[in-house]
Structure formats: C-alpha cells, structure tokens
C-alpha cells in the first residue's frame, strides 16, 4: 500500500513540476491573440524546422531555409512551436542540438515577413508568440546546444541564447543587429543575454550591434568552445561528442539536473530550494539511485 502511495505522490510531483514549467508566458490576459498571429504566419510559407529524435536521447533540430540564410518565415515560426511541443512530450530526451542548414545558423526573421507584419498588433503578437516558444525551449528538461556556424543574426542571435550552451565554428559570428532595424530584441534575447554575459557586456552587444566572433564569445562566456571544423557534418559530429559528455547516464537523472538548474536560474531562492527538493524526491530511492547503490561506484 505504502509503495503505491509513494509512486502516486512521485508521479503527481513530476506532473506538477512539468505543468508549472510549461505554462505560457503570455495569454489573452496580456492581450495576446495566438490564433490571429498563427493565421497570419500561415500566409508566409517557406523553409522548415526539422527534428530528428535519436535512440540515444539526443534530438537534432535543423533550421532549414538555406536560400534565405535560414531566416524564419511565418510557417517556420509555427513549426518551431510544434517541434518544441514534441520535445516537451519526449520522455526519453536528454540533449538537443540546434543548427542551421547550409553551414550557417539563422539570420532572424524573414524580412519579407517583418515588412508585412510591421503594424503594432501583428508585431506584438509575433513578439509574444516567439517569446512563448523560446521560453518553453529554454525550459525543456534537455541539455540544449546551439551549434553556430556562419551567422547568427538578429532573432537568430536571440535563438542561441534560449539554449543552455553555444558552440561556435571558426569564422562564425553572433550579432544582435536589432538597433539597425530601429529595434531591440523581441524574442526574449535581451533578458537571456544579460543573464549569460552580464548587464555590462549585454548592453555593449546590443547598443553597439557588435560582431561576436568565437574568441570574443569565449571571453564573454557566450560560447563554451570553438570547434575545429567549419564543415557542417564534421562540426555536427564535434557538437555531438561535446554534448555526449554531459548526457551520459539515465534520462531521469540528466533531465532532473537540467530542471534543478533551470529553476535555480529563474526562481527566487526559497522557491528554487523547494522545487529542488521536489525534483530530488523524484529520484531518491528510484531505479537509477537503487541500481547505483547496488553497484557501490568508486569515483577515483
Ligand atoms: C526580433 C527579431 C527581429 C525581428 O523579427 O524584427 C529580426 O530578426 S529582424 C531580421 C534581422 N536580420 C537581418 O537583418 C539579417 C539580414 N541579412 C543579412 O544581414 C545578410 O544576409 C547576412 C549577414 C545574414 C548574410 O550575408 P551574405 O552576404 O552572406 O548573404 P546574402 O545577404 O547574400 O543572403 C543570401 C540571401 O538570403 C537573403 N536573406 C538573408 N537574411 C535574410 C532575412 N533575414 N530575411 C530575408 N532574406 C534574407 C538575402 O536577401 C539573400 O537573398 P537574395 O535573394 O540573394 O537577395
């Protein structure tokens, strides 16, 4: 009787944590009209967002619009939301690599779309749609990596900040060009950049639209490593190898490690501690814990 009660409590705790983390940032209460903007996005087709979920728990998400440097069309924004929902429901997932087709990352919104939605209502709905989607991406219980080859420009630069880590190839560049558009980041990239590199560096990168090459990115803590190859296939293999050192082990444990850091990143201290306690409770005495105790591992 006690065991089944314990299992039910654990399942409820897990579901509670997941549900809380999945709630969208914006709803109608914020004036957000999701169905309206989704309908508008449908008018701007082109490109795709492809997701491959592998048996080893690593997902590969490809931004696929190489003719336009992987700029986001309207349907690509819709597909990104669909892929994030798929990833939220992938219980075996441990890691995610996001990269662009054609040896370049992403040049932000398709400027043809930007021109067509330059009115306030559409612009604000696009902003809230992409902030909702990228916040959910950031909160996925997977360790995520943006593999930056070529250019990550504007919204593309913002997308890199929604990942836990960035890996860059020689000659690649992250650049927040928003000021040249008479804008500031709208996909949440300003708030996330500040938390990654600090307010001073974030303000310099935004106000100066500074070209961040791999060396500068390492200095700022914006990139973890500069890969050795610029070639698409080789760079992807290097990124897989880098990620695999962080995703080896049971999915339940890897996913919980990301959750603990994600709540620590976002919640006030006492709420983060209480949520960490809940996450700890989902693992204590669980299969991975009991198997480890049976093995009595030595960490020499
Ligand atoms: C909140 C996000 C924000 C918003 O939504 O308001 C944005 O992200 S706005 C968009 C910000 N992005 C840009 O301003 C990037 C514009 N593009 C470039 O600066 C360059 O294309 C660059 C640096 C990415 C690459 O330059 P390169 O010389 O290597 O290539 P091309 O410029 O010849 O580009 C090839 C081809 O792609 C088209 N292209 C590139 N980026 C976009 C884009 N964002 N939207 C639409 N089309 C884009 C470019 O026009 C070329 O096509 P072609 O038919 O040959 O002219």
Ligand 1 mutation target, pool 107, 124, 152, most atoms within 8 A of CB? 107
Q: How far is the CA of 135 from the centre of ligand 1 (A)?
A: 24
Tell me the pLDDT tens digit for each residue of 18-27.
Answer: 565 566 899 8
Q: How far is the CA of 127 from the centre of ligand 1 (A)?
A: 19
State pTM to two decimals: 0.94
**Regarding beta strands 58-64 and 48-53, do their DSSP bridges make them parallel or antiparallel, or are they unpaired?**
antiparallel
- Tell me, what's the pLDDT at 118? 94
The CATH fold assigned to 31-228 is 2-enoyl-CoA Hydratase; Chain A, domain 1 (3.90.226)
Closest C-alpha to ligand 1, atom 30: 69
Q: Is the dihedral of CA 176, 182, 188, 190 positive or negative?
A: positive
Q: 295 pLDDT band (50/70/90 cuts)? A: confident
1/280: higher pLDDT: 280
C-alpha closest to that of 139 among 8, 233, 279, 263: 263
Question: What Cα–Cα distance (Å) separates residue 255 from each residue in 91, 92, 95, 280?
Answer: 9, 9, 9, 12
Residues 199-258: pLDDT tens digits?
Answer: 999 999 999 999 999 999 999 999 999 999 988 899 999 999 999 999 999 999 999 999
Q: Ligand 1 mean position to 218 CA, how many Å? A: 25
Q: Distance (Å, rounded) from C-alpha 205 to C-alpha 189?
A: 11
CA 285: distance to chain centroid? 31
pLDDT tens, residue by residue, 101-154: 999 999 999 999 999 999 999 999 999 999 999 999 999 999 999 999 999 999
- Going 286 to 91 to 161 to 270, the CA torsion angle's sign is negative
Task: Tell me which residue has tokens 């300003």.
Answer: 190
**186 CB within 6 A, ligand 1:** yes
Q: Which atom of ligand 1 is nearest to the CA of 111?
A: 45
| Residue ranges covered by each domain of the chain | 1-25+250-300, 31-228
Asked if residue 143 lies in contact with residue 254, where contact means CB atoms within 8 angstroms, the answer is: yes
Q: Flag whether pLDDT at 85 surpasses 70.
A: yes
| Ligand 1 atom closest to the CA of 109, numbered from 1 | 8
Question: With a 6 A CB cut-off, is 109 part of the ligand 1 pocket?
Answer: yes
Say if residues 70 and 98 touch (Cβ distance below 8 Å). Answer: no
Enumerate residues 6+ apart whose C-beta is below 8 A from 20: none
Any ligand 1 atom below 6 A from CB of 181: yes
Question: pLDDT over 70 for what percent of the chain?
Answer: 92
Burial class (CB in 10 A: 0-12, 13-18, 19+), 207: exposed
- The predicted structure's pLDDT at residue 7: 61
**59: Cβ below 6 Å to ligand 1?**
no
Positions of E strands within 154-288: 165-168, 173-175, 225-226
Q: Do 97 and 236 touch, CB atoms closer than 8 A?
A: yes
pLDDT (tens digit, 9 = 90+) per residue, 242-280? 999 999 999 999 999 999 999 999 999 999 999 999 999
Q: How far, in Å, is the centroid of ligand 1 from the Cα of 168?
A: 20
Cβ of 68 closer than 6 Å to ligand 1, yes or no, is: yes
Please give the Cα distance from 266 to 27 (Å, whole number).
Answer: 20
């Amino acid at each position: 009787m006690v065991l089944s009660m314990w299992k039910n409590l654990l399942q409820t705790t897990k579901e509670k944590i997941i549900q809380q983390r999945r709630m969208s940032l914006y709803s109608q209460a914020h004036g957000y009209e999701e169905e309206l903007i989704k309908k508008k996005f449908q008018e701007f087709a082109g490109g795709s967002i492809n997701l491959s979920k592998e048996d080893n728990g690593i997902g590969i998400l490809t931004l696929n619009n190489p003719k336009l440097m992987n700029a986001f069309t309207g349907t690509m924004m819709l597909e990104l939301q669909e892929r994030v929902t798929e990833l939220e429901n992938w219980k075996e997932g441990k890691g995610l690599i996001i990269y662009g087709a054609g040896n370049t990352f992403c040049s932000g919104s398709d400027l043809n779309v930007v021109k067509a939605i330059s009115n306030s209502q559409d612009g604000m709905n696009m902003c809230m749609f992409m902030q909702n989607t990228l916040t959910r991406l950031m909160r996925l219980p997977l360790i995520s990596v943006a593999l930056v080859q070529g250019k990550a420009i504007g919204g593309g630069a913002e997308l890199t900040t929604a990942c836990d880590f960035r890996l860059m190839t020689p000659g690649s560049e992250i650049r927040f060009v928003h000021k040249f558009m008479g804008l500031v980041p709208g996909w949440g990239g300003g708030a996330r950049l500040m938390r990654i590199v600090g307010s001073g560096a974030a303000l310099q990168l935004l106000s100066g639209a500074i070209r961040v090459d791999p060396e500068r990115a390492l200095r700022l803590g914006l990139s973890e490593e500069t890969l050795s190859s610029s070639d698409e296939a080789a760079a992807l293999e290097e990124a897989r190898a880098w990620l695999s050192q962080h995703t080896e082990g049971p999915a339940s444990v890897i996913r919980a490690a990301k959750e603990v850091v994600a709540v620590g990143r976002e919640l006030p201290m006492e709420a983060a501690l209480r949520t960490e306690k809940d996450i700890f409770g989902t693992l204590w005495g669980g299969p991975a814990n009991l198997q480890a105790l049976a093995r009595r591992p030595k960490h020499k």
